[in-house]
Amino acid sequence: MTQNQSATNQPLIEVRDLKQYFPVLVGMFRTKPLKAVDGVSFSIRKGETLGLVGESGCGKTTVGRTLLHLYKPTGGEILYNGQPVQSKADIDAFRKKATMVFQDPYSSLNPRMTVSDIIGEPLDIHKLYATQEERREKILELMSRVGLNSEHAARYAHEFSGGQRQRIGIARALALNPDFIVCDEPVSALDVSIQAQVINMFDELQEQMGLTYLFIAHDILVVRHISDRIAVMYLGKMVELADAAEIYERPLHPYTKSLMSAVPQPDPKTARANKRIVLTGDIPSPLNAPSGCPFRTRCAYATDACAEAMPEFQEVSKGHFAACHRIAETN
């Protein structure tokens, strides 16, 4: 967010019609595709933070992991600095510039490795030092950058609190001096008081190192604080994308409106005036998604047309995209 002024028009990351289907066994020899991500497109400019929000199971994490080729994409295209990331050589080069901070600081760190070895592992894999002394200096510099003391280097992950473990994970992600980081719900497992510290650290690191983030979370207040733009996902599809302030003040899609109505208001008068939009029914399974618009089974505005075709993800106003057949009538 802090680098937004220097962000150029050329996207650092571009995702076009990304699909990630997982085959699920539904009979003796029969599989059916679970459409975790189904035709998602977006771009992120250098120095920008794109927040990705939605309910659990909507495909947010799968987008992040597929983007980094931790899953092989079923379809679509991923571009880095305008170049497609396709071959093994492309992926290897991309992974030196794109890393990930995982959601759970408890399970994402190896309990048998010291903090020094956890942070130094990317340096070892890519052979980014000439001597052991140089390796040690780089590790201590990374630890200092995320607020860890040098005496922590010889300890093991289980000796640290959740917030400190996440700092270790962030230091590991910074080891290769990346341009782009996928932050997969990096604060959801932390206490609220620690969340603010970690989010502020992400902001500071972005300013110091010119980082670009895809920030995945289900807490819309967290996302609003750190993001330049926010994208909303529902059942594997993107339903809205706009500037953070714009999507907060003027949501267009019925699902986004429901999400925003659930955000707590600090002012009692505003809170009383705020009308909560409660969704009925459960999220359908991505294995048996509804025809047409995936949100239609829970939408108060749904008509027969919504069952016939998926609405086009179109630009409603400058920089504000939404996918809804009845966008003009409901706003």
Of the candidates 211, 187, 176, the one whose C-alpha atom is nearest the C-alpha of residue 102 is 187
pTM of the predicted model as reported, rounded to 2 decimal places = 0.91
Dist CA 258 CA 246 (whole Å): 15
The predicted structure's pLDDT at residue 270: 66
Of the candidates 140, 152, 159, the one whose C-alpha atom is nearest the C-alpha of residue 115 is 152
The predicted structure's pLDDT at residue 180: 98
The predicted structure's pLDDT at residue 220: 86
Dist CA 20 CA 66 (whole Å): 7
For the stretch 231-247, pLDDT in tens is 999 999 999 999 999 99
For the stretch 282-295, pLDDT in tens is 788 888 889 999 99
Per DSSP, helices labelled H in the chain are 60-67, 88-95, 115-125, 132-145, 162-174, 192-209, 220-226, 244-249, 254-261, 268-273, 304-308
C-beta atoms surrounding 302 within 10 Å:
18
For residue 51, name the pLDDT band (cuts at 50, 70, 90): very high
pLDDT at 2 over 80: no
Average pLDDT value for residue range 306-317: 93
Dist CA 87 CA 81 (whole Å): 16
Residue bearing tokens 């618009």? 293
Please tell me what DSSP assigns to residue 128: -
Q: DSSP labels for 142-191?
A: HHHHTT--GGGGGSBGGGS-HHHHHHHHHHHHHTT--SEEEEESTTTTS-
Residue 39, classified by CB atoms within 10 Å of its CB into exposed (0-12), middle (13-18) or buried (19+), is middle
Please tell me what DSSP assigns to residue 310: P
pLDDT at 39 over 70: yes
Average pLDDT value for residue range 319-330: 92
- Token reading at 83: 């170049």
- Token reading at 149: 């003391």
Dist CA 135 CA 317 (whole Å): 50
Average pLDDT value for residue range 320-327: 94
For the stretch 65-108, pLDDT in tens is 999 999 999 999 999 999 999 999 999 999 999 999 998 888 88
pLDDT at 6 over 50: no
